[in-house]
């Protein structure tokens, strides 16, 4: 048991002492002046450290080719995703009314809401830890999430359709077979709520990065009730050791998954079966750590005042 524990620690933290010293030195160094028009350097960051070297990169890159604004293409995909979800929801309600079955569709919808949170956690864990920008299909998402770790505040500046269009496209294509294949009330109740929560998870994620005073009161209330992922809970995802709190719908699964080290167990299985190390086993370097931005309200961990 001791050997396994020691090996696990070495696998996860091969350079921990060196990296911790480097980070400590960076945080103790003198304040520097802004280095670019859109970037201001966080007070206390050494310009010669890895942190500030990474901050010299352009955060506009993290916004992607389309910047932060919504295009008509973005709006069209979001509209298509919403339409496919609404068709499914309408079919569920219609079939439930016709059959008189209400409890089963309601339970299916509740299951869709709970499992969507788990789904976002698994997906987020996967793209945070494996693959790269050139990975087929998922490369753009992997790159976008790495950019999000460097410049978390950018998500709060994205326009609605700009933030949701990728998941809108997925939902439009994924829901179409369901919409055409069945009229079952239970199936549609589950699919509509599960798909809706997945599609809007990026909006919930953006709200989790928001400032309490700037968010709609209803959103703050839902976050405080635990029905949407809370600002404080998601802030923990952006702090070392960067390997938990992956779920971004309600966050209801985060405590269970992190407490029981479910993702760490999956990482071990993948490592010993395939020899692939997750990014979270490396000490945080530029791809995980927040880079300085232009938001004066940010804390040292990239979250705005919560």
Cβ distance to Zn ion smaller for residue 190 or 253:
253
CB of 145 to Zn ion, least distance (A): 5
233 makes contact with Zn ion (CB under 5 A)? no
User: Which window, 127-135, 158-166, 172-180, 253-261, contacts Zn ion (CB under 5 A)?
Assistant: 127-135
Q: What is the DSSP letter of 14?
A: T
User: Which window, 39-47, 48-56, 113-121, 128-136, contacts Zn ion (CB under 5 A)?
Assistant: 128-136
Cβ distance to Zn ion smaller for residue 68 or 86:
68
128 makes contact with Zn ion (CB under 5 A)? yes
Q: What is the DSSP letter of 153?
A: G
Cβ distance to Zn ion smaller for residue 128 or 267:
128
Cβ distance to Zn ion smaller for residue 188 or 279:
279
Cα gap 63→143, rounded to integer Å: 10
User: Which window, 40-48, 93-101, 122-130, 274-282, contacts Zn ion (CB under 5 A)?
Assistant: 122-130
CB of 190 to Zn ion, least distance (A): 26
* Calculated CA dihedral for residues 202, 206, 212, 215, nearest 10 degrees: -70
Radius of gyration of the chain (CA): 21
Residue nearest to Zn ion (CB): 128
CB of 37 to Zn ion, least distance (A): 25
CB of 161 to Zn ion, least distance (A): 19
CA distances, 3 to each of 6, 7, 12, 305 (Å): 5, 6, 14, 43
Cβ-count burial 256-283 (b if 16+ within 10 Å, e if not)? ebbeeebbbebbbebeeeeeebbbbbbb
Angle between helices 185-199 and 160-181 (to 10 degrees): 160
Cβ distance to Zn ion smaller for residue 34 or 226:
226
Specify the 3-state DSSP secondary structure of 300. Answer: coil
258 makes contact with Zn ion (CB under 5 A)? no
Cα gap 280→264, rounded to integer Å: 9
User: Which window, 37-45, 101-109, 123-131, 270-278, contacts Zn ion (CB under 5 A)?
Assistant: 123-131
User: Which window, 124-132, 175-183, 211-219, 258-266, contacts Zn ion (CB under 5 A)?
Assistant: 124-132
CB neighbours of 269 closer than 8 A, spacing ≥ 6? none
Contacts to Zn ion by CB under 5 A: 128
């Amino acid at each position: 048991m001791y050997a396994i524990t020691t090996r696990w620690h070495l696998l996860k933290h091969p350079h921990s002492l060196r990296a911790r010293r480097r980070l400590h030195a960076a945080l103790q160094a003198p304040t520097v002046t802004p280095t670019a028009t859109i970037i201001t350097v966080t007070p206390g960051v050494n310009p010669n450290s890895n942190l500030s070297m990474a901050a010299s990169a352009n955060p506009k890159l993290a916004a992607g080719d389309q910047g932060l604004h919504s295009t008509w293409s973005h709006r069209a995909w979001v509209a298509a995703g919403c339409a496919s979800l609404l068709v499914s929801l309408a079919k569920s309600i219609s079939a439930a009314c016709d059959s008189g079955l209400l409890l089963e569709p309601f339970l299916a919808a509740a299951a869709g809401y709970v499992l969507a949170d788990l789904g976002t956690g698994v997906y987020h864990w996967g793209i945070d830890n494996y693959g790269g920008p050139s990975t087929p299909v998922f490369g753009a998402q992997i790159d976008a999430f790495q950019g999000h770790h460097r410049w978390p505040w950018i998500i709060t500046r994205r326009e609605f359709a700009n933030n949701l269009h990728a998941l809108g496209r997925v939902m439009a294509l994924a829901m179409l077979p369901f919409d055409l294949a069945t009229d079952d009330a239970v199936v549609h109740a589950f699919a509509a709520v599960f798909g809706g929560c997945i599609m809007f998870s990026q909006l919930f994620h953006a709200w989790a990065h928001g400032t309490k005073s700037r968010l709609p009161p209803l959103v703050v209330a839902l976050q405080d009730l635990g029905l949407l992922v809370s600002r404080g809970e998601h802030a923990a995802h952006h702090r070392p050791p960067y390997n938990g709190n992956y779920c971004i719908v309600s966050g209801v699964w985060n405590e269970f998954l992190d407490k029981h080290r479910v993702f760490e167990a999956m990482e071990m299985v993948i490592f010993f079966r395939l020899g692939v190390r997750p990014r979270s086993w490396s000490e945080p370097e530029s791809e995980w750590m927040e880079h300085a931005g232009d938001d004066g309200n940010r804390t040292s961990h990239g979250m705005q005042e919560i």
